[in-house]
Structure 1
């Protein structure tokens, strides 16, 4: 499942290629036909990311409203300039926008295809507010409230690794960021939240903000400090479909980049987790 930095990148990109344009919306798959009809002729006024949720704000047209997308485990988005290709596979929503989109010309158009999302729906303003209210603090948003998130964590007996993945507490953080930020803090993922100090939470939050902003810029998750990069250590770069350089995520059985101990793995809250027993003592 994409983590929050990916959704923020999508929001910015979609605004860049379709913002201010009227769109023609279709549902080749047929599961969003009514919603597509409401969007056709509306103008994309703004885009927004909150945690792992993507929101398109439309104005005008027959219905307009707010398009809410959650990619979930299997959702993907593809886009490109010009005339869209013939639909292939299960496309839930296709958007075509640009100065000439409604006239059917290809010049200056841009298309966007959404496949396999966990959620694709139109919301009212009140429903979008309710969605935001259900989510925790997003490290990539200026309106984030880390104090409330930290307070909830520090009152809980649940393991820190599970608390950081709870989207009602911290929105947008997935398994990679949760795993890596705890390694960088020297804290075991199994430590109960109530043992976390206020100072430790402030450092974790600041690190999340920094790391996730790097993720937005680079389009991948990099958590390794300069002194532990491949070129600094004389080691081979990481070869993994998730990309980026990390300390412990999916490195079970390999040596820790900091101390050389064997990276451990286990299951926490029904999710795989990784840690260094030496650098992150329980």
Structure 2
């Protein structure tokens, strides 16, 4: 039996003192956005040029919760220009895409007291997240720690109905990114649509998979990297929604209202195959709504 664990004291170091640059840090975050502790995000755009001439480091998307994060990264301590730039980029992006939520995010090695004073003066009018980065060296390895020290908004719009609103990709992209069972739930829904006599239309995007027939898209799937179930949202309109949710719940399926006219579920393929009646009725209502 091994002995008790020994305490090893480690002091945080600045990345530049370790010979690492801001570009290196951005590469690590781009490769694994979960490092930030903001959930399963997708890099929507990187180094996006703004009308003012500056470039925002990252725009990341949480498509399931209809949220985008405008993220600025800097080494060292925050300064007033950094704060203003982040808020400016956030404001530009929310005007460009006003139907979804936006969060401004600052990542820095030191969040100064002046930063908190500025936020207090803004009276929390800006949904701003501050993340403090610490780096620890152990031999030839470096450990990065991201701690959220400020969040002026409680984390949780309607769907982006145009599949072109995000960059399109293909099936292999999702096969590499998510468990096969989650994609099987998408396939099961597509098969059920075809069994109902309609021709399914499937578009693979970087943040979601959109499904429809001959009208507007009416189903949005958000396969996650780890979960075997697949979050999905169907737009059915406000009038039929309550009755559809009741029927789904009576069948033992979990369903909840989302936005003004949608139903959100977390499906596994066997649930779709075992409940073709209530889910088929849901799909029929969604397809009808897509032709409004």
TM-score relative to the length of structure 1:
0.32
> Based on CA coordinates, which of the two structures has the bigger radius of gyration?
2
Which gives a bigger RCO, structure 1 or 2 (Cα 8 Å, sep 6+)? 1
